[in-house]
Amino acid sequence: MAKMNLLQAINEALDIAMGNDDTVVVFGEDVGHFGGVFRATAKLQDKFGKDRCFNTPLTEQGIIGFANGMAAQGMRPVAEIQFADYIFPAFDQIVNETAKFRYRSGNEFDVGGLTIRTPYGGGIAGGHYHSQSPEAYFTQTPGLKVVVPRNPEQAKGLLLASIRDNNPVIFFEPKRLYRASVGEVPEGDYEIPLSAAEVVKTGSDITLLGWGAQMELIEAAAKRAENDGISCEIIDLRTLMPWDVDTVAQSVINTGRLLISHEAPLSGGFAGEIAATIQEQCFLYLEAPIARVCGLDTPYPLSLEKEHMANEHKIFEAIKTCVNF
DSSP-based three-state secondary structure for 170: strand
For residue 71, give every residue at least 6 positions away whose Cβ sits within 8 Å of its Cβ, in sequence order, or none.
Answer: 77, 110, 111, 112, 113, 114, 168
Positive or negative torsion for Cα 242, 151, 295, 208 = positive
Q: Degrees (nearest 5) of the Cα angle 187, 189, 190? A: 95
Give Cα separations from 144 to 129, 273, 280 (angstroms).
23, 16, 24
CA dist 77 and 17 (Å) reads 11
With beta carbons less than 8 A apart as the criterion, state whether 189 and 24 touch: no
Kindly name the residue from 29, 60, 135, 312 that is annotated as catalytic: 60
Kindly name the residue from 29, 80, 97, 130 that is annotated as catalytic: 130
- From the number of C-beta atoms within 10 Å of its C-beta (0-12, 13-18, 19+), residue 54 rates as middle
DSSP-based three-state secondary structure for 118: strand
Torsion of CA 142, 93, 20, 166, to 10 degrees: 20
CA dist 82 and 28 (Å) reads 7
* Alpha helices, H only, 189-304: 214-227, 245-255, 270-282
Residue 91 C-alpha from the chain's centroid = 17
- From the number of C-beta atoms within 10 Å of its C-beta (0-12, 13-18, 19+), residue 128 rates as exposed
CA dist 206 and 26 (Å) reads 42
Q: Degrees (nearest 5) of the Cα angle 318, 319, 323? A: 115
Active site annotation includes 60: yes
Mode of pairing for the β-strands spanning 2-5 and 182-185: antiparallel
Give me the active site residues, please: 60, 130
